[in-house]
Amino acid sequence: MKHPQKLAVELDEQSLTYCELLYYVQVLSLTLLSEYHVFPGEIICQCVERSLSMVIGIMAIEMAGGVYCPLSPRDPQQRLHALVQQTQSRFVLVHDLTKTRFHHNTVLLDIDSIVWDNEKGIKEDIDGLSIALVAAKDIAYIIFTSGSTGTPKAVQVRHKNFIEYDTVAQMTRCSFDIHVQEILGTLLVGGTLIMLHPGGTIDFDYLSGCMSFVVGEPFSVPLISLIVKIGVTNCIVWNLYGPAEATIGSTLHCVNVTNDTQKIPIGRPFYNYRCMVMTEYSQSSGTAQEGELFVGGAGVFAGYLGRDDLTSKALVDIDGELFYRTGDLVRMDKSGLLHYQGRKDHQIKLHGQRIELGEIERCLLNITSISACVVMKWNDDYLVAYVQSSHTNEEELRQHCQSHLPPHMIPSFFIILDKLPLNQNGKIDRKFLPLPELSSSTDNRNNNLPRNILEQQLQDIYSQAFHIESPDVEARFSQLGGTSLSVILALTLIRQQICNKVDIGLLFANPSIRQLAEAIEPLLVFKDLQETASTVNEIHETDVRLTPSFVIESLGIALLVCQWLCPIMIIHQWCPLFFSILPICHLLFYPICSRLLSPQNIEDDNIFSWNYYRWWFLDRLWNNNTFWLQHILGTSLYNYYLRLCGARISVNAHVYTITIDAPWLLDIGDGTWIADKTILNSLYFNDNYTFALHSIKIGCYCSISARSILFGGVDMQDNIIVQPMSSVTGFIAPQTIIDGDEHKSVLSDISIARNNRSLSIWHKIYQVIVIISLICIHCTLLAIVYKVYSVEKVPLPLSIAFCWTSWSIITCFVTLFLLKFVVGSCTAGETYPIASWSYLHKVWLRPLIVSSFYHAWLLPTGYDYLYPFILRWLGAQVEDDVKLAKIDIFLSYPTNLLKLETGVTSFGDVLISPTEITLSGDHRVDWIILGSHTNLGNDCTIMPGSCLASQIIVGTLTRTTRETTSNNGDVLIGVPARAMPFQMPFRQATEDQIKTIPFWKTCFSHYISKCLLIGIYLSCSLVGGSIIHTIIVCSFYRWSSYVDNKIIKQIIGKLGEDHRIFICSFLGSTQWLIRFFRACGATIGNNVILPDVSSIFDYNLVTIGHNVRLHINAHISGHTFEQRIWKTAPVTVGNSCIIMSGSEVMSGCNLMGNNRLYPFTLVMKNDLLQPNTQWKGVPAQSYTAKSILSRSVLVCDDVVKCQQKSNHSDRLSLWYEQISNVYTNVNELQFMNWGYADLDEHSDDNTGYYSKKLYQQVLANVTLTDRNILEVGCGRGAGAAWCVHTYAPRSYVGIDPSRDVINLCEKYYSTIPPLSFMIADPKTHLPFQNESMNVVLSIETTNIFDEIVAVKKFVDEITRVLIPNGYFLWCGLCNVHNSSVLIDYLTANDTFIIKEKINITRNVLHALDIQNNLRTDFIDRYIQPVDQEYCRLLAGLPGTQLYDNMQQGRAEYWRVVFHKK
């Protein structure tokens, strides 16, 4: 194979190279030959949806010498069974989606299970394929076409009939013969096949984005008009003509979408085809004369399977050459172009499919009640069946056709007549058949008319698309005569006029106007919210926006360089022996500058203001000192240093992270443990081009695991555990476990123990001794290599480069010696308390050694072939063909507990977490087992105890733990990891794109690069050398593809690495770094903030708009490297996007502008993020952030002024106000029995009674249609809106005491015209006219505590507003004697009588049990401690008086219906 890594097949996120495709095809074909004994020429049926499995199946059948016969998954089961019987196929190839389409007696072979689960090698069986000999004249495939006798005809096509293309989009279904040409014709010549997902063929936006060349079925002038209207101009469209009997394509014509507006010709013959136009007398017709088309040449078929009689009629010998009689009438114009005129028989072509109307008629005549029928094509788009019968109906006819015919052959209309009209000869007279009437709402009942503006808009669009006046809102596509062209037009108009978020799947899932309106309604609400946000952003655009200061940034960089170099130069000049104090000189500069710049006084301000640059300078200064800080992590020395920098931190805290952007805003309690690579992010970029600095407060005895991110203002209480890769913001209640985005309260029977975490004085002395020892080792190594440097006869660049290389080699050996013989191995399952000698020796010391000698390990390149040997020497179980991007992450783990099987690949920034935290705060180590051919994606985290199966792909930003379950071939994504519903194909071990070079070449490249580096700076000075160095690096990035020599590439790569360390580290978050990226080929707008040189990769593929801001550890990448195959695609980040820490934007993505990615958001390949949206999650999902209530929430003046006589009423108002402040999107709430509930916890009908159930019980026996209904305390409108949809489409009023609540309700439910809202007056409560309401609902609202005065006033108002014979529906607590103040008062005033009274206590207790955890979490997180007890009572939590009274029988919950006299 000449190009094994060339892309063969691509389907959205899935793809196969030719090497991979060949492997899978060989596996399947060998199975067919060895296990099922397929013989040459045997017909093998396949029924699969468009997928990679379809391609593998077709190629495997051909490789095994079989004859491919496609079956459409859309065909009914009986038809599929009949076709299998007709071909006498012994079995059918299927996949998961089509297994259920066949009878139980049909033998099915699952392609996926054969291919993906086949773990045995095929090399020893490969010779078995040689027995499958195929000649060019042999049959390649069979395709079924419609048959006039009622039986489909099987067209046989030979191998020699194919034509070839380079790159083709596989658009057609397997029921179209052209799909074989698209697949086989492309792959046979090494082209690339681009497959489209279901529905993609009629989504022009998707279609035009997938390709620039399309081969497809003939189409009409209206389709050209639609292409022009939609604006798709980047496709070349060909009109391809050809019946299946002529091997798909016989003629073609390149369509000009501008000029071909009258009639589209079918074009000229292919180069190896002949076309003859014959008159009815078998003579050649002249120019412009109509005649029948005969097709001859290379593509003529071999005949119909088992139908020699039909074959002899279809094939005609003309002058010694075989021609196929098409039955199509054509004419040839003066230019030699053929124009299709029609058919000479009753065969038709509808939507690209040939249909023999006789087959449909035969199917209908099988119904015994039908004596005669005829099927016609009407209006170019519809099939109409006329049936003579008096004992049938349209539904019966449609169901019969659906069970026997493919979808494209089912008539759109069935017209039942007592007698079909006949002519004088006794034949059906088609001219007198009545025309069908398209479904219209003109004569329908009122309930089929549009009931709101949205339905009216959709009706107008359907009227335009389907050419029907006032279509019925309940009618489906088929009833309207819908075609693919009309659906495309409808979708386009909907996107243009109503909502651009409607996709083709939503349209098919909701085929009627009414269904579609209900599905679009939530999208419109979201669109309104987006438009509101956009308006706000437009307002922000007018704000004062500062630009970066070139002078301030340049001076700041110069000062940073001087701060770093001056101590080195002074020590070198005066006394090199004092190099050991260099770290102290660098570290002290930060506290000094901190005092001078007074960071505590930095206020929220515009970006690029003086306040911002004060923070920027201190942040850069901190980052330049991180190497020195790594040596004192986890010690009291680090705590003292943080204090010196302004932090409030306990001496007994254990802080291992250096990723801190504002140390003076830290407040860390006693005994807290913070892992390495945790991000303490105080800086927050606002949407209005300003920034804010938030404090981070962490209580006592908290445990924060690796790669967690604390951002946006954090107030964590005591005893909190944060699992790896979790994002934390806002107030966190004590005794909470945070796992990803999930907050779990620790159960009462489990406690987070406070083990002693205070190190003794001897522990601290041990840490100091270790640090001093490492300093001594460094000094000794420097003294040794300094001897070489002092040799005067050797040129200075050569001596320094030799010293540098020698130091790197020696230091690597020292690191390995210390890890093996000083730190040693660990025991699986062993637990280490923090305040123990074993913890310091096994957990603290190991990463300290690795980080201290980190720069020495820059000597070997990524994926160095020595890495597996090093790990084996340290005790790891490492098999062959293991390739690791970095080794330091594996050295930091107890290597004797690592098992890496064959073919494991670890890409960049993978974290192998050394320990996991127990509930008691101790650290546990365990095995990590990675199965064969496992791929670890960028920024994933592997926890101790992880055991992954073979051929696993661990996705980017994914965390695996001991709880992670995996099967062979799984793709794991998310935190915690979860298996995706698809599997990645296993790549056969072939030519690998990850290359390594011998170690001596690595050392040689390192030495030469250092010689060049030193020579540049010695000859050009510091400033000139920096410029030359940058020019070399930028040139390499731009023209690296032209360099083939591996050593040269490695030398220049080392220079680039030195440039990132020694130059780019000073340029972070400045426009100098932006200029460097632009010089390397990136397209970046103005006022962009990129914090680090590693923020973007693949510069030439990255486009970034204006005002984009990235936080630390956010990345934009233009490549993927799964399964060791390098793939690239351009990535675009629009204007004003904010990408927060830990987020990843992958290749092929497009952020359209003003997008915010919250921490740990993964934007996957080809994702399109609409403008003005926020995203979160792995993979990214649309997200609306909640406002966070701090513990010190002040009570607003309005609430204070509204204090009532009862303290309960005051607290209830406060409760409402607080919740309305927390939630800005009513979608996050559900109405419930008491108060509100957060929808993070999902309830449905299978989990028992919950809020909707309560409403259903209340309204079970009440007719609400055409009534005016009032609900008191409307639950933010959710209950009211639900009642409108379910019961009362006419009129509904919701009432609530909070203006904020009403504002939100009116905004969210503005698309429900019958629904309105009012604010409750504290004095009158119900501001409505007398006798204006038919029904009043009160479900546990303001009268909850039976305050007599309030209840009496409430009942008086109900009596006033209810009409005579009106209903008052009430649910609430009663005492054990089934009475309450409200019930007693209502019955005592002789105005109401009780119509129904039912005890639903048991159901309510069940609902409260279900939502207990949810409500408890809400109260703990958002309610002030002083009010929490009251809120628990209000929410009816278990253990409160309300709950206990109901559970113990002291109170009951009743549903009561009152009828006003």
Peptide bond into 1179 cis (omega under 30): yes
Contact 732, 698 (CB under 8 A): no
CA atoms of 1292 and 1278, how far apart (whole Å):
12
State the average pLDDT for the chain. Answer: 77
pLDDT at residue 1319 is higher than 60: no
CA atoms of 434 and 445, how far apart (whole Å):
25
Mean pLDDT across 1341-1345? 39
What is the secondary structure of 617-634 as a DSSP string? HHHHHHHHTHHHHGGGTT
Mean pLDDT across 608-629? 92
The tokens describing 446, both together, are 């009122």
What Cα–Cα distance (Å) separates residue 634 from each residue in 394, 501, 758, 840? 79, 50, 12, 10
CA atoms of 1154 and 1137, how far apart (whole Å):
5
Tell me the per-residue pLDDT of 252-298, one tens digit each, with 9 for 90 and over: 888 876 665 567 888 888 877 889 999 888 788 888 888 999 999 88
According to the model, what pLDDT value does residue 1155 have? Answer: 92
> What letter does residue 182 receive in the DSSP assignment?
I
Sheet strands (E) in 530-651: 605-606, 648-649
pLDDT at residue 527 is higher than 60: no
According to the model, what pLDDT value does residue 779 have? Answer: 84
pLDDT at residue 933 is higher than 60: yes
Question: What pairs with residue 1336 in β-bridges?
Answer: 1270, 1368
What is the secondary structure of 300-322 as a DSSP string? ---EETT-HHHHHHHEEEETTEE
Contact 623, 1065 (CB under 8 A): yes
pLDDT at residue 615 is higher than 80: yes
Higher pLDDT, 185 or 1332: 1332
pLDDT at residue 526 is higher than 70: no
Tell me the per-residue pLDDT of 1282-1314, one tens digit each, with 9 for 90 and over: 444 444 443 444 555 555 555 555 554 455 444
pLDDT at residue 791 is higher than 80: no
What is the secondary structure of 792-803 as a DSSP string? TTS-HHHHHHHH
According to the model, what pLDDT value does residue 642 have? Answer: 94
Mean pLDDT across 133-137? 80
Sheet strands (E) in 1243-1319: 1269-1272, 1292-1296, 1315-1319
Mean pLDDT across 1144-1173? 87
According to the model, what pLDDT value does residue 45 have? Answer: 94
According to the model, what pLDDT value does residue 217 have? Answer: 41
Question: What pairs with residue 709 in β-bridges?
Answer: 679, 727
Report the alpha-carbon angle 993-999-1002, nearest 5.
75
Tell me the per-residue pLDDT of 1353-1398, one tens digit each, with 9 for 90 and over: 667 767 777 788 777 777 777 766 656 666 777 777 677 888 777 7
pLDDT at residue 13 is higher than 80: no
Contact 5, 15 (CB under 8 A): no
Cα–Cα nearest to 1168, from 1088, 1158, 1179, 1159:
1179
CA atoms of 1066 and 1058, how far apart (whole Å):
13
User: Could you tell me the pLDDT band of residue 477, with boundaries at 50, 70 and 90?
Assistant: low
According to the model, what pLDDT value does residue 123 have? Answer: 53
CA atoms of 26 and 463, how far apart (whole Å):
53
CA atoms of 660 and 614, how far apart (whole Å):
15
Full-model pTM: 0.55
Question: What pairs with residue 275 in β-bridges?
Answer: 295
Tell me the per-residue pLDDT of 385-394, one tens digit each, with 9 for 90 and over: 999 987 888 8
According to the model, what pLDDT value does residue 514 have? Answer: 85
The tokens describing 1109, both together, are 């801001």
Mean pLDDT across 619-647? 92
The β-bridge relationship of strands 978-983 and 970-973 is antiparallel
Mean pLDDT across 688-713? 91
CA atoms of 335 and 417, how far apart (whole Å):
49
According to the model, what pLDDT value does residue 50 have? Answer: 80
Residue partners of 561: CB distance under 8 A and separation at least 6: 1066
Place of tokens 């002092």: 790
CA atoms of 898 and 966, how far apart (whole Å):
18
Cα–Cα nearest to 917, from 647, 636, 630, 656:
656
CA atoms of 273 and 287, how far apart (whole Å):
20
